[in-house]
Amino acid sequence: MSALRLASLLLLALTASAEHHMSRPRLAQRQSGNNNRPILISNWCTETIYPAILTQGGTGPSTTGYAAQPNTNLTVYVSSDWQGRVWGRTNCTFSSSGGGGSSCTTGDCGGLQACKGPGVPPATLAEFTLAGSQSQDFYDISLVDGYNLGLAIVLLPNGNSALQALDPSTTNPSCVASLNGFAASSSSYNPYANNQQFLGTSSSSPLPFESKQTASTLSSWCPWDLQTSPPLAPGDGVYPYPDGSISRPAFDPCISACSKYGDASYCCTGKYNGPNSCSPSYYSKAAKGVCPDAYSYAYDDQTSTFITPTGGGFQVVFCPGGRSTDIIASKGSGAIKHG
């Protein structure tokens, strides 16, 4: 067994409970490196959230979880060969004794503010594999485990001329699957009015946005049985059918069918472990409808993996608002693979 294969198996064993959803080309052997790659974490939500950072390879930051007030930013640094994820936790109250039980409504990690492991679904994930195959960076927005907050990823060139030359409308995906900040009118939505920039882009190279969602469809996209906080049943304890007339809560996190039921056909395991044998579940189809550029199930990599030459940094924006991007459908899957 090669050293690379052995290292890969050890990494998988250590991170089995925090599966990295990118089914990408095999990683090049990792070398220790300086923490010189910036990850800028921005909270555009109207409420305090608790970002969390999990390192699955390379060297991550000392900060693994913190309280982020609205409209605040924090930059952390990771090594050039980092692999990991960033997510946001909601409605958290931490015990002074630390740990034990659950402290957050979504994304909790053992009741700790400074996470030491993966979060509990549902949580929208920003996933990164830096300096992977052929010295490229791979990243995606993952809804494989579920959705709790809107999220965008913005490529930061970090002084790299090759990255500065890329069209930012092909590198900066956004997922908005809740009403917080949603631009309900697709026809009048223009984040570039008055020469403004939005998610690292401008009117000279604007992001393409999905145009099908309305406030009504966005508030009810999550399959009824996958809501983490479904509305209380009517007086007789029976929901009417169809359930579309029942008002859902304003904050309506959605757990994936795989995370909730663990069925092999939903999780692409067992006899379904392969791109030709696993199909998107009812949850995955619904998630892809509201966030076309996001990862929705294990073999969704062709329509959700962004690839750039290595060397840049990234901004992770919680609650970016506006509408979800539709980069891949608008520009083609080849447009998001650079380098």
Dihedral angle at the C-alpha atoms of 262, 265, 270, 274, nearest 10 degrees? -130
Give CA–CA dist 326/291, Å, rounded: 8
Q: Tell me what the mean pLDDT of segment 126-154 comes to.
A: 95
Confidence label for 260 from pLDDT (cuts 50, 70 and 90): very high
Q: d(Cα 214, Cα 329) in Å, to the nearest integer?
A: 19
Q: Mean per-residue pLDDT for 188-208?
A: 96
Tokens 């459908």 -> residue: 329
pLDDT at residue 105 greater than cutoff 70:
yes
What's the pLDDT band for 31 if we cut at 50, 70, 90?
Answer: very low
Whose structure tokens read 């059918």?
A: 241
Alpha-carbon torsion 87, 91, 95, 100, what sign? negative
Answer whether residue 17 shows pLDDT above 70.
no
Question: If you average pLDDT over residues 136-142, what whole number do you get?
Answer: 97
* Angle, vertex CA 249, rays to CA 248 and CA 250, nearest 5: 120
Residue 28 pLDDT > 50, yes or no?
A: no
Closest alpha carbon to 55 in 17, 83, 77: 83
pLDDT at 232 over 60: yes
pTM to 2 decimal places? 0.88
In this predicted structure, the answer to whether residue 250 has a pLDDT above a threshold of 90 is no
Q: How many CB atoms lie within 10 A of CB 175?
A: 27
Asked whether residue 1 carries a pLDDT value surpassing 60, the answer given is no
Residue 241: per-residue pLDDT: 54
* Angle (nearest 5°) at CA 284 between 292 and 42: 55
- 7 pLDDT above the threshold of 50: no
Give the CATH number of domain 31-260+284-336.
Answer: 2.60.110.10
Q: What are phi and psi of 248, to 5 degrees?
A: -95, 160
Alpha helices in the chain (DSSP H): 3-14, 161-164, 215-218, 257-261, 264-267, 282-290, 327-331
